């Protein structure tokens, strides 16, 4: 009964009752009338808008207000951690065929919980908590001779919406939903076609709100959610990010704040550490590829 009455009041609110009635109803809790969704963009325009948004991202820095993670440690025990502090520093690529540089550090008392970073040739990650780490070369990405790494830094930019999407043939599939559009890249193998990657865009803004990667059997390998966008120059950046790895029952949640353009010389952060004395398990994950 109460819900029906509120619905009637909210509906009547749109009638020209005059200023007095509008003021009386202003605090009633009625939601504003929903704005109609714009007509969906064609596939090529959606791709172009996505890539234009990535290209508009300037050199920037932001703080990690809070981070939270769930993972399984080396002993097979499930762990949940939550701490304050950290930083993300990003430098756009010098050319369209080169990767961006970035440095992401999550702080913890006394030690660095983890660092994910990359320059134009190499990427690396390490955790002073877990006393582990590794690094690799972009030229060896996805080769069978390369080992896996706990959190591949090169995928972070892709799943946070800071990496352009391929726009050359073959063009991706494209699906239009009630409130979103989905760009879908597919693979072809002996079992037929299957989804490899999907990028779900909000139909009002065409900012990514969810990105997924799938195995050939349909199992979701990686998942991200992007929320609370903030403007920086001509670009929009997500202030809340969830990165998840369903097969490992692991996830990482980041809340960013204090976005600012950053031209300061930070070249030292983009140089891969040659060794980390407190981390004995810090090695090149694709060394075997150099020997081949």
Which residue ranges form the domains of the chain, and what is each CATH number? 54-291 (2.50.20)
The DSSP line for 238-268 is EEEEEEEEGGGTEEEEEEEEEEEE--S--GG
Distance separating alpha carbons of residues 48 and 55, to the nearest angstrom: 10
Which pair of structure tokens corresponds to residue 173? 């599939």
pLDDT tens, residue by residue, 231-285: 999 999 999 999 999 998 899 999 999 999 999 999 999 999 999 988 988 999 9
- What is the 3-state composition of the chain as percent helix, strand, coil, each rounded to the nearest 5? 20, 40, 40
Confidence of residue 190 (pLDDT cuts 50, 70, 90): confident
> What's the Cα-to-Cα distance from 70 to each of 36, 63, 79, 112, 173, rounded to whole Å?
39, 21, 6, 16, 33
Distance separating alpha carbons of residues 214 and 182, to the nearest angstrom: 15
pLDDT recorded at residue 240: 98
pLDDT recorded at residue 142: 83
- Average pLDDT of span 77-89: 91
- Average pLDDT of span 177-192: 90
Which pair of structure tokens corresponds to residue 35? 């704005």
96 phi and psi, to 5 degrees? -65, -25
Q: Is the pLDDT of residue 130 over 60?
A: yes
pLDDT recorded at residue 168: 76
DSSP state of 186: E
Q: Is the pLDDT of residue 73 over 80?
A: no
What angle is formed at CA 211 by the lines to CA 209 and CA 213, rounded to 5 degrees? 170
Q: Is the pLDDT of residue 136 over 80?
A: yes
Three-class secondary structure of residue 158 per DSSP: helix
User: Which one, of 199, 197, 235, lies nearest residue 216 by Cα?
Assistant: 197
Strands 112-118 and 101-107: antiparallel
Distance separating alpha carbons of residues 40 and 38, to the nearest angstrom: 6
pLDDT tens, residue by residue, 199-239: 999 999 999 999 999 999 999 999 999 999 999 999 999 99
DSSP state of 191: T
Which pair of structure tokens corresponds to residue 113? 């919980």
């Amino acid at each position: 009964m109460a819900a029906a009455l509120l619905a009637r009041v909210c509906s009547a609110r749109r009638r020209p009752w005059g200023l007095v009635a509008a003021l009386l109803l202003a605090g009633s809790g009625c939601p504003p009338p929903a704005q109609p969704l714009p007509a969906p963009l064609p596939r090529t325009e959606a791709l172009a808008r996505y890539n234009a948004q990535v290209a508009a991202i300037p050199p920037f820095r932001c703080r990690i207000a809070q981070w939270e993670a769930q993972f399984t440690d080396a002993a097979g025990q499930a762990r949940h951690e939550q701490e304050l502090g950290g930083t993300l520093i990003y430098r756009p690529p010098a050319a369209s065929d080169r990767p961006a540089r970035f440095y992401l550090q999550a702080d913890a008392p006394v030690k660095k919980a983890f660092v994910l970073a990359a320059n134009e040739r190499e990427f690396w990650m390490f955790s002073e908590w877990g006393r582990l780490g590794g690094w690799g070369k972009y030229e060896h990405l996805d080769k069978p001779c390369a080992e896996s790494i706990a959190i591949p830094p090169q995928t972070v930019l892709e799943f946070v919406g800071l990496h352009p999407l391929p726009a050359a043939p073959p063009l991706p599939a494209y699906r239009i939903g009630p409130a979103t559009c989905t760009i879908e890249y597919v693979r072809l193998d002996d079992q037929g076609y299957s989804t490899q990657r999907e990028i779900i865009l909000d139909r009002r803004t065409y900012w990514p709100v969810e990105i997924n990667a799938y195995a050939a059997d349909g199992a979701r390998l990686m998942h991200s959610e992007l929320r609370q966008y903030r403007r920086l120059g001509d670009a929009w950046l997500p202030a809340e990010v969830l990165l998840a790895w369903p097969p490992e029952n692991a996830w990482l949640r980041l809340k960013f704040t204090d976005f600012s353009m950053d031209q300061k010389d930070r070249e030292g952060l983009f140089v891969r550490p040659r060794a980390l004395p407190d981390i004995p398990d810090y090695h090149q994950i694709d060394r075997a590829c150099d020997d081949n």
